[in-house]
Every structure is written in structure tokens, then in C-alpha cells.
Structure 1
Amino acid sequence: MSQLPIPDGVHFFAHLPLAWHATLQQSTFEATRYLAVLAEFEASSDERNHAQEALHAKLDLMLLWTAKHLSQDLPPAKDAVIALETISWLDATALPMGAHGALTLSLSRIFPFSLQLPAEIISCAVSGQGYAITARLQLKEEALRDWFERTVFRNHRRIVHSERGAAA
């Protein structure tokens, strides 16, 4: 992943399904709700009582089955750096600077879903056998931006904690 630009601030590295599309085909509401449900799905169940936990287990299983069914259409996995305002990835195909469209990505192996985020290509440089591409996210709606930032912070924290645990 050293071929990708490292942004300042909170970010994380991932190998995840990711593709560029010329048009956004997902509503902001759907993207926002997925990020909110993903946060709940990944949350600790310490604060739930037994009845709530049983209900959540049923809902989680239903969501997993639905996501598994829909995940057959996920794009191929690519190395990426996910930051609060940008996403960089390695690709075999160049993209034109200034192109507007949508990044399709899946942020969870356990709860896969093709999340689409509006973006603009701000960098495309030759890197090894392909291109290092950076897109600036265009998250204009506050709720979507908030849930995406929470997702980036959560993943960043998880990686920092695992690195600290490995160093100890």
C-alpha cells in the first residue's frame, strides 16, 4: 500500500471491494442508513438486556442473509486508503482528473453491501503496473457525512488498538 498517498489525519488501509462509476445510483438515505446499521452491527452488545439481544440476533441474521444475497454484485477488491474526505486506491485503469461520479465500495466483510458515495477524481498517477487514484468525497448531506466519518474513526481506532496489542 506504500504506492498510495497517505493523507494527514484519521484514515485506515483496507483491501476491499471498490469500483468507480460515472453516475451515482444510490440514494443518500440508503447510504446513510447502511452506515448507521453497520455501526450498530459492529457495536458491543454490553448495553442490551437478554430480550433486546435476542431481537438483535434475529435482525442481524436477517440483515446478513440479505447482504449475502446482494453481495454477489460486489466489485473486485483493491488496496485502498480511506480517509475522512478522500479515498485512494490502486487500479489498472486511469481515470480523468475532475471526473464526477460515485465510488462503490463495501466496508465490511461480515456485513457486505455496495455503498455508493459521490466523489470527484482529484489525482491519477502512474504507480507500478497501474494507477494510484484519489477521489475527494462529495458528501453534501450532513447525516451521510457524519455516519461516514464515524465509520472512518471506528476503523482507525480498531487498527490502532490492534497495533498497540501486537506491540505489547
Structure 2
Amino acid sequence: MNTLPVPDGVHFSAHLPLAWHGVLQQSTFEATRYLAVLAEFESISDERSHAQDALHAKLDLMLLWTAKNASHTLPAAKEVMIGLETIVWRDSAALPLGAHGALALSLSHILPFSLQLPAEIISCVVSEQGYVLTARLLLQEEALRDWFERTVFRNHRRLVHAGRGAQA
């Protein structure tokens, strides 16, 4: 299988649910809050008391059940390369250059949610398996951009640590 082009800077690759939508149908607030909750959900904090751990366990279980009930609406999983400013993926359909819309993707298999990020198609190249598409993210709101960048850095670090462990 041909690998996807690697974006400049910090990035990570994954096999995630992803689809293109012609219209953004999610508020920036909802997207920002999901990324903040995902960061908290994936973190391990030694600073919590026993009572806080018990509360977080209840909240985590509620979030998991809610996500499980909503995950039936996730798009099909695709090979993706996620950078700070662009997302590259392989698809069976072409998209026109300059098209504006939203990338709907789920960044967590454990806490699935169809996050929508505003984007513009900047490349569509024919490949052996269809098309390789590149979208530039149009994250205008600072809070959304900040939480998205944290998510990319967290996943990038995870892959670097996993790679170091595999080399040892």
C-alpha cells in the first residue's frame, strides 16, 4: 500500500472514521469541548483524590455509554495523516480543489464522536487505490485551534514513545 504524504511538522497517522461534508454542521463550542474532554479522558492524573477518582469514573462511564449509543453514525474508517494544519486521507471519490466544507472524523476508538472541523480541499491526486486528498484546516477560533494542536501533539508523542519502545 502506498503511504500517504507526510505533512510538515508534528503529525500522526491512524486509521480513523472520516468523511467530507459540504457544510459544517457542528458548533465551534461543541468541537472545542469534545477535544478538551478527550484530553481529560485520555490523561492519567496522580493529583486526584479518591473522591475525585470516583466522580471521574462515573463521568467516564456516562461518556462511554453516550459515545457508544452515538457511534453508529460514524463514517467509515480510512487511512489518515493528521498534521497541525492539514489532514491527508485516501478515498474512493475525488473532491474539487478549493471546495470548502467540513471534515468529520473520530479521533478516539474509546470515546467515539464525529468531530467536524472546517476545511478546504487543497489537493486531490489520483492513486492506485482511488484518490489522495489533502485538506487545509480552517480553525479560526483560537480555543478550537489550541485544543486541536494539543490533540495532535499528544498523539504524536504517543507514537514516538511507542516507536522507541519497539526499538528497545
TM class by shorter-chain length? over 0.9
**Which residue of structure 2 aligns with residue 131 of structure 1?**
131
**Which residue of structure 1 aligns with residue 119 of structure 2?**
119
Query: Per-residue deviation at 1:2?
Result: 4.0
Q: Cα deviations across residues 119-148 of structure 1 (Å, max 9, x unaligned)? A: 000000001120000000000000000000
**Which residue of structure 1 aligns with residue 28 of structure 2?**
28
Q: Cα deviations across residues 9-53 of structure 1 (Å, max 9, x unaligned)? A: 100000000000000000000000000000000001312110000
Query: What TM-score does the superposition give when structure 2 sets the normalisation length?
Result: 0.98
Q: Which stretch shifts more, 149-158 or 40-49? A: 40-49
Unaligned residue ranges in structure 1 (runs of 5+):
none
Aligned residue pairs, count = 168
2-structure distance, mates of 1:129, 1:148: 29
2-structure distance, mates of 1:79, 1:68: 22
**Which residue of structure 1 aligns with residue 108 of structure 2?**
108
Identity of aligned residues (%): 78
| 1:94 is the counterpart of 2:94 | yes
**Structure 1 runs of 4+ off > 3 angstroms?**
none
Unaligned residue ranges in structure 2 (runs of 5+):
none
One-letter code aligned to 1:145? R
2-structure distance, mates of 1:55, 1:94: 46
2-structure distance, mates of 1:50, 1:34: 25
Query: Per-residue deviation at 1:3?
Result: 3.4
1-structure distance, mates of 2:48, 2:2: 41
Q: Secondary structure at the match of 1:101?
A: strand
**Which residue of structure 2 aligns with residue 4 of structure 1?**
4
1-structure distance, mates of 2:55, 2:66: 17
**Which residue of structure 2 aligns with residue 16 of structure 1?**
16
Q: Cα deviations across residues 32-75 of structure 1 (Å, max 9, x unaligned)? A: 00000000000013121100000000000000000111110000
**Which residue of structure 1 aligns with residue 70 of structure 2?**
70
